[in-house]
Structure 1
Amino acid sequence: MTTPSLTKGEQRQRDLVRAAAEILREEGPGAVSHRKVAARASASLSATTYYFTGLDDLLGQAASLNFNGWIERAARVAAELENREPPTSMDDAVEIVLKSCLPSDAPLENHYLQLTAAAEYPAVRKVYDDNRSALDDAIGTVLAWMGSRLSARLVLAVVDGAAVEALSEGRDIRETARALVRELFVSMGEFAAD
């Protein structure tokens, strides 16, 4: 089945949302402005007000695009693993968890800074809250494939907590998350320590 071609207006609107999503990921919701989005999308400033009811509408659509990307990342990991045997080593299990929980296409510092800033922006916060269960489901699929009894919410909370700890203490986010997920697995008897 082929997808119908987008009209010029639909493509322009997608370009604006994509530009806003990039700014949101890179600099946080406070950096998203009509002027900055228009410049990033090589569009006129009036386009940002024509296609969206306001900045909250644009922010909400940008947040939705980003969050859907996070869900798709975890779902891709689950799909890649479908025909493989579950991991037998702690290191493999931890790497699979990190791959499903952490973005690889953006600096992690920016990812977590924009997440913590989201609380101040109702349009962004609502999208994140409304879509959280879909992200948990995608990560839960990965954990179930691994044979883990842990909930996706707990694992993601450990990964996110590790990121905040690393940011506040000037350490590497991935390494801190790796160490804490290992500790979680050991403490819950999920995998024998390597």
Structure 2
Amino acid sequence: MPDLTTRGERRREQLVAAAADILAEEGFAGVSHRTVAGRAGVPLGSTTYYFESLEDLTRQALERMGERYLARARTLLTEFRARPAPDGFRPLARLVVDMLGWSDGAPGLPLFYESYVQAGRNPCYAAAVREWNAGLVRLLPPAFEHTGRGLGPEDARLLLALSDGLLVTALAEDTPDPADSAARALAAALPRLFPA
């Protein structure tokens, strides 16, 4: 790894940001030395100078994408908690689904879950997925607290897994609005899983 000057650090940052954008827009297949350098507007050799491999660059881009997901999820939680506590489980279920990356401006659902599959195939990506899942698990209890309900860490993990499963199923079945379908199913399941 080269010593990084301020200029070098900026270039490295440009490359990671560009790779994260490509990853979010096109998935793993879109990330190559050429596409990343082109998007960043830097010479092609920069990708091999600043990163050990394309895998290393992709891993760092995936970490960046996770940071973006978590920042967006924190914003959604802050907005949710700024409003009066809603009645029923539907608004809470919709928040959980939206926090998983499905809304205007967020990467598409298939690309989001492609990261899970790639992490299962390549352990170097698994830490990034674990990190953003852990971040989401930490954000779920405050959402429940706002509605006067408690949610422990294990239940938050269960809720995350259930929400992921509902979204993947809706996607696989070509449901017209996967987010709405998942939110409705989750709203129906929440009273059974977390009774008052």
Question: Alpha carbons of 1:189 and 1:9: their partners in 2 closer, same or farther (altered >3 Å)?
Answer: closer
Aligned partners of 1:29 and 1:118 also within 8 Å: no
Question: Alpha carbons of 1:89 and 1:130: their partners in 2 closer, same or farther (altered >3 Å)?
Answer: closer
Which is worse superposed, 117-126 or 153-162?
117-126
TM-score w.r.t. structure 1 length? 0.82
User: 1:179 aligns to what?
Assistant: 184
Aligned partners of 1:70 and 1:135 also within 8 Å: no
CA distance in 2, matches of 1:57, 1:37: 13
CA distance in 2, matches of 1:114, 1:134: 16
Instruction: Give the alignment of 1:26-45 within 5 angstroms.
Output: 26-45=25-44
Percent identity between the aligned chains?
Answer: 32
User: 1:115 aligns to what?
Assistant: 116
Per-residue Cα deviation, 1:45-69 (whole angstroms, up to 9, x for no partner): 1111111122222112111111111
CA distance in 1, matches of 2:101, 2:148: 20
Question: Alpha carbons of 1:188 and 1:119: their partners in 2 closer, same or farther (altered >3 Å)?
Answer: closer
Q: CA deviation at 1:44?
A: 1.2
Query: 1:45 aligns to what SS in structure 2?
Result: coil
Amino acid at match of 1:9: G
Question: Alpha carbons of 1:163 and 1:98: their partners in 2 closer, same or farther (altered >3 Å)?
Answer: closer
Instruction: Give the alignment of 1:1-194 within 5 angstroms.
Output: 7-104=6-103, 105-150=106-151, 151-171=155-175, 172-188=177-193, 190=195
Which is worse superposed, 97-106 or 171-180?
97-106
Q: CA deviation at 1:189?
A: 5.6
Q: CA deviation at 1:17?
A: 0.5
Amino acid at match of 1:163: L
CA distance in 1, matches of 2:6, 2:116: 33
Per-residue Cα deviation, 1:57-106 (whole angstroms, up to 9, x for no partner): 21121111111112212221222234432211333222222232334222
CA distance in 1, matches of 2:97, 2:131: 23
CA distance in 2, matches of 1:160, 1:27: 20
Listed as ranges, the gaps of 5+ residues in structure 2 are none
CA-based RMSD of the aligned residues comes to: 2.3
Amino acid at match of 1:168: A
CA distance in 2, matches of 1:141, 1:123: 31
Total equivalences in the alignment: 186
Aligned partners of 2:37 and 2:43 also within 8 Å: yes
Question: Alpha carbons of 1:70 and 1:146: their partners in 2 closer, same or farther (altered >3 Å)?
Answer: farther
CA distance in 1, matches of 2:192, 2:178: 21
Aligned partners of 1:59 and 1:123 also within 8 Å: no
Question: Alpha carbons of 1:21 and 1:175: their partners in 2 closer, same or farther (altered >3 Å)?
Answer: same
CA distance in 1, matches of 2:53, 2:31: 12
User: 1:3 aligns to what?
Assistant: none
